[in-house]
Amino acid sequence: MSRSDILFFDLDGTLLSPDHRTVSPGNQEALRAAAAEGIKLGLATGRCLSMIPQETLDLGLDYAVTSNGAAIYDLKLGQQIYHDPFPPEEAALACEILDRYIDFYELFVNGKVLLVRSPRAEAEGCTMPVWGPFYIQRRGALPPMIRLRSFLDEGAPGLEKINVIHCPLPDLPRTQQQLTALHRFDLSSSMSYGGLEVVPRTCSKGSAIRWLCTELGISLERCAAFGDSSNDRDMLTAVGCGVAMGNAPDDLKAAAHFVAPPYDQDGIASFILQVILQQDHTSGPKNPDA
């Protein structure tokens, strides 16, 4: 395999440790080794900028593709260089459907998280989503609540992604079906317990990576990307070296060029050292098609 000039890493289930916050010493060492060879390093995550752990930002990476491809940041310069937010009409249509079934959901707006409470939940007096304790434990408070109608009337400025943390399982299929029937959205998930991520059809990690590589003058054939979930599929097939983690579902492994060991076994480090940097090891990641 030819040497890669830039690497992109999903976070949860890929680069991060099981605590969803830190990067293992082994993975950190491999990232440093790649950077020492002049390889650029980037994140490609469904998280918005404010949800990326500071421990990860402190690693000195070059770029961050966030909100499933809606934004790109030059981390060395500390500035946004690309933005592909929701068109106002699509934002209104998606929220109208979600309000029928979902009590609480999140909006990723200009790199931050805002919380929406549906009219039904408001009428029933619901004051905290079922996943609220997670935010209180990790951040001390829930995301700011917004007035959805006013936000949509203003054109949903800066809306990058709609994130459903928890959808009652009986309602999830009909929610997906109604959103899919409009042919305006890309639906995916990086979670296994009823989550749903909604972005416009033109938005994906893959489309953002294509744009960035064009700007940098880097061929996609000399780009590698690592992921474990359905929201990683487009980027794994867009690049010359798409790597599914060993913990990824079988259909994603089949779509990738290579399969690395699971994320909790330093799969990133193993692949970088053995394949990207081609260091001498007795065994390494295997091509699923081999």
Domains (range + CATH), the chain: 6-84+204-276 (3.40.50.1000), 88-200 (3.30.1240.10)
From 18-32, 178-192, 253-267, the region with the lowest mean pLDDT:
178-192
Q: Who wins on pLDDT, 100 or 280?
A: 100
Q: CB within 8 A of 36, min separation 6: which ones?
A: none
Q: Are 35 and 59 in contact (CB under 8 A)?
A: no
pLDDT digits (tens, 9 = 90+) for 43-80: 999 999 999 999 999 999 999 999 999 999 999 999 99
Q: Is 246 exposed, middle or buried (0-12, 13-18, 19+ CB in 10 A)?
A: middle
**pLDDT grade, residue 191 (50/70/90)?**
low
Q: Is 7 helix (H, G, I), strand (E, B) or coil?
A: strand
Altogether, the residues listed in the chain come to a count of: 290
* The pLDDT of residue 109 is above 90: yes
The predicted structure's pLDDT at residue 282: 42
- Compute the mean pLDDT over every residue in the chain, rounded to the nearest whole number: 92
In this structure, what token pair is assigned to residue 21? 């916050």
Q: Which residue is listed with tokens 């260091």?
A: 279
The predicted structure's pLDDT at residue 193: 54
pLDDT digits (tens, 9 = 90+) for 168-185: 778 888 999 999 999 999
The predicted structure's pLDDT at residue 54: 94
pLDDT digits (tens, 9 = 90+) for 219-254: 999 999 999 999 999 999 999 999 999 999 999 999
What separation in angstroms does the CA of 155 have from each of 87, 161, 182, 288? 8, 14, 19, 45
For residue 9, the surrounding DSSP H or E stretch is: strand 6-9
The predicted structure's pLDDT at residue 194: 58
pLDDT digits (tens, 9 = 90+) for 137-149: 888 899 999 999 9
Give mean pLDDT, residues 84-107: 95
What separation in angstroms does the CA of 32 have from each of 37, 84, 186, 188, 278? 9, 31, 34, 31, 15
Helices marked H in 58-147: 88-101, 119-123, 132-139
Q: Which of 17, 253, 51, 63 is nearest to 160 (CA)?
A: 51
